[in-house]
Structure 1
């Protein structure tokens, strides 16, 4: 039977880099870059296939129960698949998650998006806990998942390639063959303020009541939608970061035990290839 490997994210953990710069160069593995079900029906006996879609573990700002449901549903469809899942230390992950939320049409301030003390934000502490997601993967699939760290993808790519090669098979591309390009441009402080204002009035997936059609596909194609304009301003004019250290003060401490657990799981795989 064909072997299916599914890279399910998480979002903002180096997934786009792997999808664009690494997986297409992999030898001996069929990379399913298209997100069409029909490609899964064409898998051939005895061959390896890799599907990488971070949305398979839920949208970036999904509640924990919704993410776990997505994982469980995927496991029901492909219980024999081997899963690759990556994690990022919580403060950086939450900050990057909020940045993407704004770029997808969100208009909440950061405390409204995530407020750990009072619990009044859109997302709660439990929504950013990693261990329940990893345990859900273990329950849903027959095989043990490969756990990667975003920090290794950024700073120790040879290790990540070795881990993937030992898990997926085939032959990894050389580091020299991989372009080190930046993906997913973030928005900085002042463009983000403008983006929140425009998003609150624009129709999008996160604001069905919006009246302004600023995310129309024609504007997006021309780079004239709010997201594209604010990204361009962030690259060229405004450098103040969207969030500073005080905005994330104590966040990693809140998740220290959860992160220690994830690091231990990743270390198990590191030890296996060292």
Structure 2
């Protein structure tokens, strides 16, 4: 049996691969994200699910379940794809999944796609608007007085609405997977190469899996999917939601979190306010989605001072990638 695990990263064409490539892949005895395997795997490894696992089973129990399921796939090629295995993007919490994956699937090959960090940060910022958070990039990155604040300085209830750039360490994550699985079992791709020639990168990924690119027929290959909203839409979101009083830090909280911050006599007013927000958000979201389809207008949303700091930090850190990949394979702009 051959097992391949695609771990993302998030915002690196994962949704495109999962919806438009992997399900349509033609190969002998091939299984993509088999339900029985995915359910058990997420229960023990998913950063969003595992900490809340109420069944209180041990990791060893999960390993036994996995081994039993894999017995039914002898001789097969299995591809698992879920970017949540690599990280929780908002908190940059990598947990120890590189170790847990090695324990659970010691013979697996790992597929990773990187994206230059500053560009990745901007992509996540744009995604935050789709997550109902309408704030400046300075607030999103906790950038104050020319410094990126440490995570501990951010109120706990708002941490999932901010990005902790001080804990964003992609090269470290790659090296940990290489350390756990071996360099020959970690296949590294770059989102920048995908943007230049997505067919070539997809063919290379298929080559890793052992699928013949020449016999594939992907019916939705050219369809764009999960594209970040434009800078123009981000600006309109902020203007409209602030104008109509639809967003404050407290509004980013869930109903349960909001109620905790309100005395009981104010809860009816909270319900009225939340209902108003819901209706107006639906109207504005529909309007802005339509505008973005007509006028997809982009510019750099990151101030130069902030961008220079991040570039300096990440280009230096990316030099560690040379331990596992040659310089000529790394897209321009990554290294010092």
TM-score by length of 1: 0.76
Match of 1:80 among 91, 103, 107: 107
Residue 266 (structure 1) shift:
5.0
Alpha-carbon distance in structure 2 between the residues aligned to 1:67 and 1:99:
22
Alpha-carbon distance in structure 2 between the residues aligned to 1:214 and 1:4:
49
Say whether 1:255 aligns with 2:255.
no
Q: Which has the higher helix share?
A: 2
Match of 1:49 in 2: 78
State the Cα deviation string for residues 63-118 of structure 1 (Å, max 9, x = none): 3xx21434333333323221111111122111001112232233443112223941
Residue 135 (structure 1) shift:
1.8
What's the secondary structure of 1:30's corresponding residue? strand
Say whether 1:131 aligns with 2:167.
no
Match of 1:119 among 119, 144, 148: 148
Given that 2:115 and 2:191 are in contact with CA atoms closer than 8 Å, whether structure 1 keeps it comes out as: yes
- Mark the runs of 5 or more structure 1 residues left unpaired by the alignment: none
Match of 2:118 in 1: 91
The 5 Å alignment of 1:17-56 reads 17-28=16-27, 29-32=30-33, 36-37=38-39, 41=69, 43-56=72-85
Given that 2:91 and 2:164 are in contact with CA atoms closer than 8 Å, whether structure 1 keeps it comes out as: no
Match of 1:231 in 2: 289
Alpha-carbon distance in structure 1 between the residues aligned to 2:329 and 2:236:
40
Residue 151 (structure 1) shift:
1.1
RMSD: 3.8
- Mark the runs of 5 or more structure 2 residues left unpaired by the alignment: 42-65, 151-161, 260-269, 331-336
Match of 1:182 in 2: 224
Distance 1:167 1:11, change over 3 A: same
What's the secondary structure of 2:189's corresponding residue? strand
What's the secondary structure of 1:61's corresponding residue? coil
Task: Choose 1 or 2 for highest CA Rg.
Answer: 2
Alpha-carbon distance in structure 1 between the residues aligned to 2:258 and 2:293:
30
Match of 1:208 among 245, 248, 257: 257
Alpha-carbon distance in structure 1 between the residues aligned to 2:6 and 2:277:
29
State the Cα deviation string for residues 210-267 of structure 1 (Å, max 9, x = none): 7526898xx8xxx937655543343346735571563753132321123344477455
Distance 1:59 1:85, change over 3 A: same
TM-score by length of 2: 0.64
Alpha-carbon distance in structure 1 between the residues aligned to 2:89 and 2:226:
14
Given that 2:21 and 2:218 are in contact with CA atoms closer than 8 Å, whether structure 1 keeps it comes out as: no
Distance 1:236 1:161, change over 3 A: closer
Count of paired positions: 263
